Amino acid sequence: MKVFIIGVGLIGGSFALDVKTAYDSVTVFGIDQSEKHLEEALSLGVIDAKATYEDLAQADVVFVAIPVNALTKQLSKILDLVNDDAIVIDAGSTKEAICELISEHPKRRNFLAAHPIAGTEFSGPSAALHGLYQYKTNIICEVEKTAFKLQEKALKIFSDIGMRIRYMDPKSHDIHIAYTSHLSHISSFMLGKTVIEKEANERDIFDMAGSGFESTVRLAKSSPAMWAPIFQQNKTNVLETLEAYIKNLQEFKQFMEQEDFESIYEAMENTNKIKEILKGITVKH
């Protein structure tokens, strides 16, 4: 099996590593706009060989893991170049714009819109991890528009690398992911920004930062080149989540100003229910 990875960073590179672990007879080719990334991926054993778009006609599987603004520009071209038996899978964090873009493409049947809910705050080929996708959820949109035999090919790969499958329409995906992922990243970036601005006047603030700060601001280390386009493509849903989040922050601020600490306690106690929700998710995994 010939697997082509377009974008050999954390997401694409980890997929490459997991596929190589799951299958003996697989050759992984890497395509990336950065020659440095390709050389690094090759030296680390993430890919077996470098390739270009002109080689895509040989592909059995194409896994596209590039920023969503680049994806909207490149996906039609990628589909133009693959053979009729190849499956093209994307890993973008937004789905509605991408699905709409290629809805009338002659090779729409060759495309599977997917979003693996997996990753870390790091980027580049050196961030690729064995087992990143194990027990992770993979959201698939518009599966009915993908040729059945190609669905089967993709689903077998996902199963073999240990993923769980969830089906969802693109619009619902973008709404839900705005709350569970995109808002988390915005919160982390803005918390980091707030503390950095304060640190300019109080140089020892980071000496006082504990594990709570570190875990909360972890996502602020994520790549702006990946996340700014995600916020742009999912603007409407992200704005909705921000309005809800800001409303809760303003309410908390009012409680503080009014010295209504009983209401603060109740708000936190009610939010503690998230422990059971997250515990249920962990058990399912």
Residues 28-46, mean pLDDT to the nearest whole number: 97
Please, are residues 134 and 107 in contact by the beta-carbon 8 Å criterion?
A: no
Residue 216: count of CB within 10 angstroms of its CB? 15
Distance CA 148, CA 131 (A): 27
pLDDT at 121: 83
Which of 224, 223, 14, 18 is closest to 127 using CA atoms?
14
Please, are residues 184 and 218 in contact by the beta-carbon 8 Å criterion?
A: no
- Look over the chain and give the mean of its residue pLDDT values, rounded to a whole number: 92
Is 234's pLDDT higher than 80?
Answer: yes
Residues 209-237, mean pLDDT to the nearest whole number: 87
Residue 91 CA, distance from chain mean position: 7
pLDDT at 1: 96
Q: Tell me which DSSP letter residue 180 carries.
A: I
Is 207's pLDDT higher than 70?
Answer: no
Of the listed ranges 70-79, 168-177, 221-230, 243-252, the least confidently predicted one is 221-230
Please, are residues 68 and 10 in contact by the beta-carbon 8 Å criterion?
A: no
| C-alpha dist (Å) from residue 259 to 19, 255, 262, 266 | 56, 6, 9, 14
70 half-sphere exposure, CB direction, 13 A CA radius? 13
Strand, helix or coil for residue 123: coil
The residue behind tokens 């993908």 is 146
Is 281's pLDDT higher than 80?
Answer: no
Distance CA 214, CA 222 (A): 14
Which of 77, 73, 83 is closest to 109 using CA atoms?
83
Strand, helix or coil for residue 169: coil
The pLDDT confidence band at residue 34, using thresholds 50, 70 and 90, is: very high
The pLDDT confidence band at residue 203, using thresholds 50, 70 and 90, is: low
Side chain identity, residue 246: I
The pLDDT confidence band at residue 148, using thresholds 50, 70 and 90, is: very high
pLDDT tens digits for 155-169?
999 999 999 999 999
Please, are residues 123 and 34 in contact by the beta-carbon 8 Å criterion?
A: no
Side chain identity, residue 244: A
Side chain identity, residue 218: R
Distance CA 16, CA 242 (A): 35
- Written as six digits, the tokens of 207 are 């000496």
Q: Which CATH number fits domain 172-284: 1.20.58.340, 2.40.128.110, 1.10.3660.10, 3.40.50.150?
A: 1.10.3660.10
Is 212's pLDDT higher than 80?
Answer: no
pLDDT tens digits for 175-195?
999 999 999 999 999 998 988
The fraction of the chain above a pLDDT of 70, given in percent, is 92
Beta bridge partners of 116: 138
pLDDT tens digits for 90-142?
999 999 999 999 999 999 999 999 999 998 888 899 999 999 999 999 999 99
pLDDT at 283: 45
pLDDT at 204: 66
Domain ranges of the chain: 2-169, 172-284
pLDDT at 262: 95
Is 56's pLDDT higher than 70?
Answer: yes
The structural architecture, per CATH, of the domain 2-169 is 3-Layer(aba) Sandwich (3.40)
Is 217's pLDDT higher than 80?
Answer: yes
pLDDT at 201: 61
- pTM for the complete prediction? 0.85
pLDDT tens digits for 252-276?
999 999 999 999 999 999 998 877 7
Q: Which residues contact 5 (CB under 8 A, 6 or more apart)?
A: 12, 13, 15, 16, 28, 29, 30, 31, 47, 63, 65
